[in-house]
Chains A and B, each alone.
Chain A
Amino acid sequence: MQLKFQVKGMDFSRAGQAATKIKKALQLAGMDPATIRKTIIIAYEAEMNIVIHAYHGTLTANITPHKVEIIAEDEGPGIPDIPLAMQEGYSTAPPHIREMGFGAGMGLPNIKKSADELDIQSEVNKGTKLWAAVFNN
C-alpha cells in the first residue's frame, strides 16, 4: 500500500496531518505498536522539516507487512553539511519557529534513532530526499 501527501512550506495549520494519516493506516494494517511508534516519529519529523525548511514537498509511506518506508522529498535550500545537521542540538530554524516548540535540532537525530535504515541525499538550492525504513517485527 502506498500513501502520498503533498506538504507545503510554512503551512503550520495543516502540518502533521500527513503523519497522522500514516499512523491511522498503520494501525488499520495491524502493524506492531513499536513499528508504528518509530514510523510516526520519522514521518512527523520529516514532514515538519519540509514545513519549516523547504518550499514544498511530498511525504510518502510504502507499507508492506514486513516493512514501512518513509520517503520525504522536497524542493528547498537543501542541507549543505549533512553530518552537521545530524548532530543533536544543531538547528538552523529561526526564532519564531523555535517559539512554536520546534527547531531544537532534534529532528534528524530522532529520525536516525528511529529508522532501521536511513539515507539522506541533498543538493544545495535544489532540495533534499530522505528515505527511511522501519522493519515490522
Chain B
Amino acid sequence: MHVIKKMLNADVLCGADRLDTEVTSGFGCDLISDSLCFARPGCLLLTGLTNVQIIRLAEMVEARAIVFVRGKKPGEDVIKLAREKGLPLLATDLFLFESCGILYQAGLRSS
C-alpha cells in the first residue's frame, strides 16, 4: 500500500498504520452491485462512491483498502466506520481510469 499511495500521490484518510498490507488485485467501479459481484477478497477497491455503503461493501467482499478517486473525500461518519473496521482509506485527485491504468502498468491485476 505504501507503493500505491506514492504512485497515486494519495492522501491517507485513515489506517496509516496498516499501509504495510499487501493487496492481491484491484477493482475499479462506481456501482455497488458490480463491485459486490466482481471484486475479490484481498483486493484494492478504487471508486468515486463516498457514502457509507462502500465501507459495508468492502467488508463484505473482503477488500483490503479503498482509494477514493477524482478528489472525492467521504464524510467523517464514513471514515469513522472504516477506522472501526480497520480498513485503510486513501484519496487521490486522479480519475478512476488513470488510477487503474497506473496500477495496472505497475503489475496489479484483476483477480
Question: Which residues of A are in contact with B by a Cβ distance under 8 Å?
Answer: 12-13, 15-17, 19-20, 23, 40-41, 44-45, 48, 100-102, 104, 106-107, 110, 113
Contacts and interface: CB of A to CB of B under 8 A. Distances in A.
B23 interface: no
Contacts, number: 54
Nearest to B31: A104
Q: Which of B34, B59, B60 has the most CB of A within 10 A?
A: B60
Contacts of A102: 32-33, 53
A107 B36 CA distance: 10
User: Main SS of the interface on chain B?
Assistant: helix
Contacts of A100: 32, 49, 51, 53
Interface residues of B, number: 18
Interface of B: 30-34, 36-37, 47, 49, 51-54, 56-57, 59-60, 77
B66 to A, nearest CB: 13
A85 to B, nearest CB: 14
A45 B33 contact: yes
Given A12-B51, A12-B52, A101 B32 contact: yes
